[in-house]
Each structure stands twice: as C-alpha cells, then as structure tokens.
Amino acid sequence: MTKEEILDILQQIKDPEIPNLSVIELGMIRDVEVNAPNAVIVRFTPTYSGCPATTLIKMEILQRLKAAGVEHIEIVEQLSPPWTTESFSPQALEKLRQAGIAPPHPHHKKGEDPPSLGIPCPYCESTDTKLLSAFGTTACKALYQCNSCGQPFDYFKCH
C-alpha cells in the first residue's frame, strides 16, 4: 500500500462529534509512514485532553486499515506541537458551516472567552448573534443563538 492509499482510507474516518469532517481535515493525523507493504505507522494527535472521541477514532483507524489488508498498524500519539484549530483548511471551515457549526473566528484570541456577540450564524450569516454558554455540547464548542433566524448553533472555539 502507498501512503496516498492509506490517506484515502483515513479520509473516510469522521469525528463522531463533527460527522462531516474527516480526521485528516481536522488536523488529527500528523503523518503516515509506510515502512513495508503491510506495516504502517500513523502519527495521531488528539484534540482536547479529555476528548471522548479519541478512543473511538483510534479504534476506527485500526479497523479500517485492517480491513484494507494492513497487517502491522502502529498508532503513535504525538502530542507536540499541541493540536490547534489553526490547522483547519479553508474547505474544513466551509464544511463546519455546512454542518451548522460556526468555525473559529479570527477575532477570538486563543485562551480568551468566546466573544459575547457577533459570531456569524452558520444558517443565515447574520452577525446579530449572542453567546449562550462558553461551554457547549462538547469541550471544543460554545453555544450561541442567532437573533435574526432564531436558530441556536454551536461555535468551534479557537484552540
């Protein structure tokens, strides 16, 4: 198997909490090494320390690669440098919006509270929105509501 073929398989693995983004688009795959035709090392970085999806994603990587005929799979957890939302591609940001999740906002400084107002609504693009809760459905998200269309939505915090 080639590295490209492995990446194609990994591209099909989605984060269970953001079902239209793959682990590659989320920047969780640091590198893939194909050492022999049947031996693969996947360098993986988890997002948040306590992200409950981590175990599930690792299991799925193992299962998918096994099913594709890879016999020796090593998943190496690579913590450094820590995962960041800065590694999202423009396509990934667009996909987040399509999933109803407002992507990380350039005015939101890392480590600061999410802005109380003005995060564009992923449904109607209005900026007349307000923060409901700095902690949302998962550790990586905050909860907002749009005053224009009334829709509550998740915001992916800068991290």
Interface ranges with other proteins (CB under 8 A)? 48-52, 79-83, 110-113, 132-139, 143, 159
The residue (of 67 and 80) whose beta carbon lies closer to other proteins is: 80
Rounded CA-CA distance 92/15 in Å is 12
Give the single-character DSSP code of 117: B
Tokens 């915001």, located at residue: 155
The residue (of 69 and 80) whose beta carbon lies closer to other proteins is: 80
CB of 45 to other proteins, least distance (A): 9
**102 binds Zn ion per the rule CB under 5 A:** no
Classify each residue of 5-27 as buried b or exposed e, where b means 16 or more C-beta atoms within 10 Å of its C-beta.
Answer: ebeebbeebbbebbeebbbbbbb
Binder to Zn ion among 1, 29, 32, 121 (CB under 5 A)?
Answer: 121
123 binds, among Zn ion, other proteins, none (CB under 5 to 8 A by kind): Zn ion
Helices (H) and strands (E) in the chain, counts: 3, 9
**147 binds Zn ion per the rule CB under 5 A:** no
122 class by beta-carbon count within 10 Å (0-12 exposed, 13-18 middle, 19+ buried)? buried
CB of 145 to Zn ion, least distance (A): 9
**117 binds Zn ion per the rule CB under 5 A:** no
The residue (of 68 and 124) whose beta carbon lies closer to Zn ion is: 124
Sheet strand arrangement including 72-77: 29-36, 39-44, 72-77
CB of 82 to other proteins, least distance (A): 4
Q: Which residues of the chain form contacts with Zn ion (CB under 5 A)?
A: 121, 123-124, 126, 146, 148-149
